[in-house]
Structure 1
Amino acid sequence: MREATGIARAARPGPPDATAPADRRRWQTLAVGLVAAFMTLLDVSIVNVAVPSIEAALHAGPSDLQWVLSGYALMFGLVLVPAGRFGDARGRRNVFILGLALFTLTSAAAGLARSSTWLIVARLLQGAAAGILNPQVAGLIQQLFQGAERGRPFGLLGATVGISTAVGPLLGGGLIALDGTQEGWRWVFYVNVPVGIVTILFAWRLIPTQPKAQRRRQSLDPVGVLLLGFGVVLLLLPLVQQRQWHTPLKWLLVPAGLVLLAGFLFWERRYARHSDPLFDLALFRRRSYSLGALIALFYFAGFTGIFFIFTLFLQNGLGYSALLAGLAITPFALGSAAAAGLGGRIVERFGRPLVTTGLALVAIGLGATVLALHFVPGHQAPLATAGPLLLAGLGSGLVITPNQTLTLSEVPAAQGGSAAGMLQTGQRIGAAIGIASAGTAFFATLATTGEGWSRAFRMSLFVAIGFVLVALVAALADSLAGRHHRPVRGQGSHGPVG
């Protein structure tokens, strides 16, 4: 089934829905969701530039700092699917507000931290809150928009993902510069508090409540939750702790995690015979969903690690301040923001080939970055890489938004939260794999070759390019097979999505 066609066919008018908000109200609701998504995704990257300040202020060791960075992502990925399922079943409004309130409180707790242990606990809880909140945003888009009109809101969500990831170091560097390295890092967390409070008020007013008749009271599949949760944790732990746990035995956790995930798949298939499972495995029989999830996993493995390593290269290798390091990444953010909105508008017309084009641009842009660093390895490196990173950012905007739109195009609205949660879980796993792989290449080159920070960064870029190329091959093979031609507007099929 062609996912681009699925977008078009779902645009046919369905039966009137008296509970649907007016057009202006639903866009206002979307704005609330995007602000919340921006906050939670920003905290994946904004803390990177604050690490040196946190280390000095709290006397944090390497293991502590790793947990400050990775604990957030770990808990984020852990609760995505259960939270998405809970929102699908019990209504997204209350779950959204709960997650946002918890995120705001834990942000304040992180800013008030007086020890590294305090900060780690706050970051773990903050990551869990982000995981509760994020699937509700994609679920709301599925609920409020139909068919082809989902392209634009998913485009805005994709722009939010790209901007938040890339602008985090810039914003973090600016906050630290304003209040000094000793206490400025606290504002990296405090900035969420006023924004969170205001967003909660608007969410309470704008997000529609789910009628009681539509709320499902079935079991929330606790066995499935545990199998998926422990499987994800075992899979991610050796990746996020690879530099702190020196024993090779840590890699035994990976096959253990895969066994639990296999058990999760077996359980869900069995559980589905008599009740609604945590995640409907039938979604993977839709090419639009299974292929999109695969592309997302490998693409996030490729592009997420770049910012972590680039920040290390600029601050530790070249002696840049946190603010200047953040500015160096801005070209990617600008390109991603510009292309994401466009990608959301034209994805209905071009389908999967648009994602293929974006992945090719990212690979070319990162390859050009490697060449720029080869010829300009010193302090002028950020200027030399600005153009290539801009090109890679433009490609990224044509990947994240269209791929998410195509991946969720045929998912019923009633499953929107859990489907988005599983997609984002794959993205978080991919990001952890990418950061671990790029970091390994970076530090191994730095330790063994003695050729400097620039070469180490180039080697990590080769790893990132490899992941992007795997995603490109998956998208290209599918496009060449002729399974995703340009859709015919208004083409009918099985009826509206959602």
Structure 2
Amino acid sequence: MTDQLVPPTVAGRTTPPSPRTGPVLLVLLSAMFFAQFDFFVVNVAAPSLEKSIHAGPAALELVVGGYAFAYAAGMITGGRLGDKYGYRRLFVIGTIAFGVTSLLCGIAVSPEQLIVARLAQGLAGAVMVPQVLAVVTADFPDEKKPRAMAWYGAAAGLGSIAGQVLGGALIAADFAGLGWRTIFLINVPFCVVIAAAAMRVLPARTHARRVGLDPVGAFGVSLALALLLVPLTMGHSSDWPAWTWTSMALAVPVALVTLRWERRLGARGGDPVLVFPLFRSPSFRGGVVASVAFMVYFGSFMFTLTLLLQSGLDLGPFQAGLVFSPMGILFTATSMIGGRLTDRWGMSALVVSSGVIALGLGALAARLFTAGSGTGLPWIVGCLCLIGAGNGVVLPALFGAALMRVRAQDAGIASGILTTTQQFAGAAGVAVIGAVFFAVAGHEATSAGWATAMGWATAISVAMVLVVMWTTWTFKRFTGPGATRGADVPAAHV
């Protein structure tokens, strides 16, 4: 996402320059745009879903977090399938599947149907998106990779903006009386066009690389996290019945069995989903911790603030989307220059930028606690500007800091683990902080109740950002200005 953070050239591959990098990049980034769009667009649609198909708080959290969960669960496997069977083939399959599952989302008539369709949509995205970075890594000449990654970050930022703004506009326009359904149905024709264009412009060759799959490990990790996240999501709305505690307890043995399997697979020379030697690096461990804390805050903040704006402050979907615009614009702008800042100032740039995020969140929380539903939109927008500016520097550079001590041959799997961790953390943030939000707001929430709930959710987000700030500060012990330069990493997902 910055001009200093460039994906690695995988050992054993040739990287012949593509003569048409412009069209290739346009096709790839179109898919990235829609993957980001569909993560954020549901935030704006949440109140409409509540009224139209009677989606309760737990269902809303599963609709939002379920997409991120499924997306993360399939990310590493999707990337390895591309290595094994060819990037163009998997990209086209993933794009068509994304269109089909978007159609299923658009015609859902119950919360249960929408949740299942969103899970399937997340899995389709997990097949489609890893091929974006893979093609850039394998087929773009080295001198064009920095610019490609900068545009990758811009596409992700624009996707998040469009999810809030364009999504709100589509719902407000209510084309043919479809309401919220248009936010999903609009994907279908675009996916057809992107898949057709990919068949024409993406390189057809499969790069020779023997790579093993680890379905047992992927399933075990996903199952352990599902056993934990589902009860956390649904427990508060059902008064924490016995099954929620049983499920969370079962997550522990499932996780232990999965970890044992991963160790044994690695010892036999296989390709486990979790590569434990990576965690021996202090920088990698710190990057994982910082990424988890960041995405717990970011995923939940976008979800809960949308609910406050529409349910607490009575804004329409389009108006609520516009509130997020300055945040998204500043994120995109600072992500394009963040590499220069970290190149000059090292980890100090991340520490300061994390402080800017914490300042914006803290100011918003303080205002919500003191003014309640009287918190004005100018104050909210001002806080979002600080948050967006800091996000654009911190999120991309976390990858560079985490992977600067990783061996070149391990960079691909390491970046996959970090990306997967981010997505799981985003789903966890929606589940856990969303549960706190709804618990404080109450079943019959008033405007004041929504504001208080958002104040507590934002206070938890401040704590998460302080973890990011502390973790990046510890990087200063073994880094200096320019430490992230040339780091062999891909951009993060926003």
TM-score after normalising by structure 2: 0.86
Most deviating of 148-157 and 312-321: 148-157
Matched, 1:233 2:226: yes
Partner amino acid for 2:197? F
Match of residue 473 from structure 1 = 470
Partner amino acid for 1:338? A
Match of residue 453 from structure 2 = 456
* Shift in Å, 1:300: 0.7
Matched, 1:192 2:187: yes
Matched, 1:270 2:264: yes
The verdict on how the C-alpha distance between 1:286 and 1:202 changes in structure 2, with shifts beyond 3 A counting, is farther
How many residue pairs match? The answer is 483
Assess if the C-alpha contact under 8 Å between 1:84 and 1:418 holds in 2: no
The verdict on how the C-alpha distance between 1:10 and 1:427 changes in structure 2, with shifts beyond 3 A counting, is closer
Assess if the C-alpha contact under 8 Å between 1:150 and 1:405 holds in 2: no
Structure 1 residues 337-376: aligned runs within 5 Å = 337-374=332-369
SS in 1 for 2:380: helix
SS in 2 for 1:46: helix
Partner amino acid for 1:184? G
Partner amino acid for 2:462? I
Matched, 1:305 2:335: no
Most deviating of 362-371 and 259-268: 259-268
Unmatched 5+ stretches in structure 2: none
SS in 2 for 1:484: coil
Partner amino acid for 1:265? L
Assess if the C-alpha contact under 8 Å between 1:235 and 1:254 holds in 2: yes
Matched, 1:80 2:75: yes
Most deviating of 127-136 and 258-267: 258-267
Match of residue 427 from structure 1 = 422
Cα separation, 2, equivalents of 1:496 and 1:158: 16
* Shift in Å, 1:264: 3.0
SS in 2 for 1:466: helix
Most deviating of 183-192 and 77-86: 77-86
Matched, 1:90 2:85: yes
SS in 2 for 1:436: helix
Partner amino acid for 1:36? A
The verdict on how the C-alpha distance between 1:285 and 1:206 changes in structure 2, with shifts beyond 3 A counting, is farther
SS in 2 for 1:47: helix
Partner amino acid for 2:458? L
Cα separation, 2, equivalents of 1:63 and 1:16: 46
The verdict on how the C-alpha distance between 1:351 and 1:84 changes in structure 2, with shifts beyond 3 A counting, is farther
Assess if the C-alpha contact under 8 Å between 1:156 and 1:340 holds in 2: no
Cα separation, 1, equivalents of 2:326 and 2:241: 39
Cα separation, 2, equivalents of 1:497 and 1:67: 31
Cα separation, 1, equivalents of 2:485 and 2:59: 55
The verdict on how the C-alpha distance between 1:137 and 1:345 changes in structure 2, with shifts beyond 3 A counting, is farther
- Residues 401-453 of structure 1: CA deviation (Å, up to 9, x unaligned): 22234445666777666444322221122212322333233333334998533
Match of residue 223 from structure 1 = 216
* Shift in Å, 1:201: 2.4
* Shift in Å, 1:329: 1.6
Match of residue 293 from structure 1 = 288
* Shift in Å, 1:277: 1.3
- Residues 355-399 of structure 1: CA deviation (Å, up to 9, x unaligned): 222211111111122344456544662222212210110000001
Partner amino acid for 2:166? L
The verdict on how the C-alpha distance between 1:202 and 1:404 changes in structure 2, with shifts beyond 3 A counting, is farther
Structure 1 residues 63-462: aligned runs within 5 Å = 63-144=58-139, 150-179=145-174, 183-211=178-206, 214-216=208-210, 219-247=212-240, 249=242, 250-279=244-273, 280-374=275-369, 377-378=372-373, 381-408=376-403, 418-447=413-442, 451-462=448-459
The verdict on how the C-alpha distance between 1:251 and 1:393 changes in structure 2, with shifts beyond 3 A counting, is farther
Cα separation, 1, equivalents of 2:162 and 2:435: 24
SS in 1 for 2:267: coil
TM-score after normalising by structure 1: 0.85
Cα separation, 1, equivalents of 2:12 and 2:413: 25
Q: CA RMSD in A?
A: 3.5
Partner amino acid for 1:128? L
Most deviating of 241-250 and 440-449: 440-449
Most deviating of 327-336 and 251-260: 251-260
Assess if the C-alpha contact under 8 Å between 1:138 and 1:416 holds in 2: no
SS in 2 for 1:329: helix
SS in 1 for 2:129: helix
Cα separation, 1, equivalents of 2:302 and 2:485: 41
SS in 1 for 2:229: helix
- Residues 236-271 of structure 1: CA deviation (Å, up to 9, x unaligned): 222332334432542443453344334333322321
Assess if the C-alpha contact under 8 Å between 1:8 and 1:488 holds in 2: no
- Residues 250-297 of structure 1: CA deviation (Å, up to 9, x unaligned): 244345334433433332232123333133333333444332222111
Cα separation, 1, equivalents of 2:479 and 2:221: 32
